[in-house]
Amino acid sequence: MIDERQGVVISSEQLGQGDRPALAVHCMLGNARAWEPSFALLEDRLSARVFDLPGHGRSGDWAYDETPGAFERLATQITASFIDRPVDLIGHSFGSSVALRLAVAAPHAIRSLTLIEPILFAAIEGAPEYDAVAADQAALSALLAAGQHEAAAKAFMAQWGAGVPWEALPEHQRIRFVAQMPILGNAAAANFSDPGNILRPDGIEEIDAPVLLVHGQETHPSVPLVCAELAVRMQDVGTATVPGAGHMLPLTHPESLADLIGVNLDRS
């Protein structure tokens, strides 16, 4: 389906024919197709709406806005526009920040919440893991400020990609990733500044739906700590580590992810 939401042409589709409505938000530089392997295994349980964020997949371009947090705010508004009844909300990486921001703002709209590889680094400020990932962000910002978008894309994919060397990626993907760097710059900064005030007092605590926090065993050391810091503020929460998985586990470990999503469905 192609329609306009928040002034952007958005491509979306439904995966599955189950009784439960679900909504999933993909990661930065990804697209809705990343959900297909996992949701194929849940097609009898979920009717999942997946969509391409602005500037991703088959959706329209993002009209660049240098306002801090502008892309996260737009992504959250678009995600909210798909909800007309309580849903099983699922997010990966940047999509987890969007899902959590929405759950804090409207907990009544969430039946269950699954956050995969959450990267809300503001939650771990002061920890050594925060300092390390903040240094990476500073280096990325410097490359973007210098107009070195290909170098920025290469560095980002080396740390947060699926383990495929930059030179081994198809040329059209490399071109696309380089073009998406202005989006990445705005979105990545929000991981540290929390423009949606997700971490405000008594915000996360108001989520009464079952929450599952998932990270890969081989992911960046900051991510398990983010999961732990979020978990202590939640009413009904489980955590899971996927053996052998890195940051892109929806692509690399879809069967394990489908099993875990199913566990959270059973809790709600």
Residues 47 and 98 in one domain: yes
Q: How confident is the model at residue 207, as a pLDDT?
A: 97
CA distance 184 to 75: 13
CA distance 268 to 166: 41
Q: How confident is the model at residue 75, as a pLDDT?
A: 98
Residues 92 and 151 in one domain: no
Residues 103 and 156 in one domain: no
Task: Please state the separation of Cα 216 from the chain's center in Å.
Answer: 14
Looking up residue 199, the CATH number of its domain turns out to be 3.40.50.1820
Each residue's pLDDT, cut to its tens digit, for the chain (268 residues) gives 999 999 999 999 999 999 999 999 999 999 999 999 999 999 999 999 999 999 999 999 999 999 999 999 999 999 999 999 999 999 999 999 999 999 999 999 999 999 999 999 999 999 999 999 999 999 999 999 999 999 999 999 999 999 999 999 999 999 999 999 999 999 999 999 999 999 999 999 999 999 999 999 999 999 999 999 999 999 999 999 999 999 999 999 999 999 999 999 999 8
Residue ending a domain, among 153, 168, 187, is 187
Residues 110 and 55 in one domain: yes
pLDDT tens, residue by residue, 37-82: 999 999 999 999 999 999 999 999 999 999 999 999 999 999 999 9
Q: How confident is the model at residue 223, as a pLDDT?
A: 98
CA distance 39 to 257: 9
DSSP string across 130-145: HHHHHHHHHHHHHHHH
In the chain the first and final C-alpha atoms are separated, in Å, by 29
Residues 117 and 25 in one domain: yes
Q: What is the 3-state secondary structure (H, E, C) of 72-120?
A: HHHHHHHHHHCCCCCEEEEEECHHHHHHHHHHHHCHHHEEEEEEECCCC
Specify the DSSP element, H or E, that contains 173.
helix 171-179
Both structure tokens of 108: 């009544």
Residues 155 and 24 in one domain: no
pLDDT tens, residue by residue, 213-229: 999 999 999 999 999 99
CA distance 77 to 266: 28
Residues 134 and 121 in one domain: no
pLDDT tens, residue by residue, 250-260: 999 999 999 99
Both structure tokens of 143: 């490359």
- For 162-171, the CB contacts below 8 A with 24+ separation are 162/246, 162/247, 162/248, 162/251, 162/252, 163/246, 163/248, 163/252
Residues 207 and 227 in one domain: yes
Residues 238 and 262 in one domain: yes
Task: Please state the separation of Cα 153 from the chain's center in Å.
Answer: 18
Its domain, for residue 207, covers 2-125+194-266
- The bridge status of strand 8-15 relative to strand 46-51 is antiparallel
Q: How confident is the model at residue 42, as a pLDDT?
A: 98
Residues 110 and 206 in one domain: yes
Q: Give 3-state DSSP helix, strand, coil % of the chain, rounded to 5.
A: 45, 20, 35
- Where does the chain show beta strands of DSSP type E? 2-5, 8-15, 20-25, 46-51, 87-92, 110-116, 211-216, 237-242
CA distance 94 to 9: 20
Number of folded domains that form the chain:
2
Q: Is the dihedral of CA 160, 163, 165, 169 positive or negative?
A: negative
CA distance 134 to 205: 26
Residues 173 and 112 in one domain: no
Residues 78 and 200 in one domain: yes
Q: How confident is the model at residue 24, as a pLDDT?
A: 98
Q: How confident is the model at residue 165, as a pLDDT?
A: 94
Q: How confident is the model at residue 41, as a pLDDT?
A: 98
